Amino acid sequence: MPQYAEFSPLVPLTRDNVDGELARLDADAGRVSDALVELTEYNSYKLLESAPLSGTTAQRWQRVSTKIAALWDDYTAYQDVLNRAREIRGRRVKPRPEDLAAITKLVRGPSITLSTKSVALSERTLLGPSAISETATLTETLHRMDTEYQLAADFIAQAEEAWNRLFAAADPVQERLKRLGETARGIGDRSVNTAVAGLIDGYSALRREIFADPLGLSAAGSPFPGRLAEIDRQIGVVAEAAAHQADLRADYDRGTEHLRQLVERVDQVEAGQRTVAQTVRDKILIENLPAFTTQAPALRARLAALDALRVQGQWARLATEAGILADALDAALAAAAKVEKLMSGLLERREELRGRLQAYRVRAARKGAAESQPLEAYYQTARELLWTKPCDLAAATRALGVYQKAVLALDQPQS
């Protein structure tokens, strides 16, 4: 806060300087108000005001908060004096001597009552007062407020610095604990989760103490560094156990993910058999198709059974069963793919015959005989068989053979 020049308390203000003096005092009051508002809007002040403080911090804050409340009381008293002075000044355009004297008494005299105490009956005189008041001038009040403000601001800065230092040490431990918690949840191991929960409780309790008593925990000889180091050490121990469990789970997860993909592939191929079969029956004339394979449901159940071994921690047996299942999946996939290929081959055979028919049609056209009889009749017979649903592949193959032979005959020399 600014320093203020001393005025002789009873030097009267004049018409020439009364307005300037009131303006100066009003500006001072504005700066005081801004400073107090800024102080109470400061984050550390709000935290001190709202946190459940304890220990050294609580004791010191009780004294400082009382001083801050007194600062507001002093400011209110200061503003009341100025208001009374401005009210007197506003009565007339040109103040009278008695107005100037009254304003002078308010702004330069002891116009603010600091305290009032009763005089003990044994100390009173017949004509003496029953109470004595301690008063101060506006200038004296501002000087006293400046001192109290600095003490309050210094305390808040100390608390903030202590919080920053403590949290700078505690936050990395919290981050390691957070990562450990995520690992533990992913593993799902009960013992690891129980250990992590205990560490979280211990760290949370220590963090609450940081909020409650930053000055006490940052003082020399505080147990805080040792307690934090012990929590950090325990995090390392649990993290090592969690890493071992994570490795076991990773091996299991990698292996079973491959098996799961194989089961889904078998299921897809077996589902494809039914789709291809429907298409074949629609497009190809055939009495019997290869029997479908239906191994996917049983294989999926065997895969699910591996989880029970994992829960029981039977890792050796789990590896053996997973290997057996992998072999069964490979065999099932091969069998399912073979059936699908046999059925798809019928459709491919029809497309192959269609292609050959068109190729020989082009060959005949190059010879200038594409539409000659009986070549055209052979072509139409084969085409009708190949483009009719369902297609009689045997008859179409024979008809194509007749057309093919006739086209090839065009290359033979005429006798």
Residues 6 or more apart from 24 whose CB is under 8 A from it? Answer: none
Residues 6 or more apart from 168 whose CB is under 8 A from it? Answer: none
Rounded-to-integer distance, Cα 76 and Cα 33, Å: 10
Q: Where are the beta strands (DSSP E) in 25-126?
A: 112-118
Q: Do 265 and 332 meet the contact criterion of CB atoms below 8 Å apart?
A: no
Rounded-to-integer distance, Cα 276 and Cα 343, Å: 7
Burial 62-76 (b: 16+ CB within 10 A, else e): eebbeebeebeebbe
CA dihedral 35, 37, 41, 46 (to 10 degrees): 100
CA 368 from chain centre, in angstroms, equals 77
The 3-state DSSP class for residue 114 equals strand
- Residue pLDDT tens, the chain, 415 long: 444 444 445 688 999 999 999 999 999 999 999 999 999 999 999 999 998 999 999 999 999 999 999 999 999 999 999 999 999 999 999 999 999 999 999 999 898 887 556 656 666 666 666 665 578 899 999 999 999 999 999 999 999 999 999 999 999 999 999 999 988 887 767 778 889 999 999 999 999 999 999 999 999 999 999 999 999 999 999 998 888 777 767 677 777 888 888 888 888 888 888 888 888 888 888 877 888 888 889 888 888 888 787 776 555 577 778 888 889 989 988 988 888 888 888 888 889 999 999 998 888 888 887 678 888 888 999 899 889 889 888 898 999 999 999 888 887 765 5
Write down the pTM of the prediction. Answer: 0.56
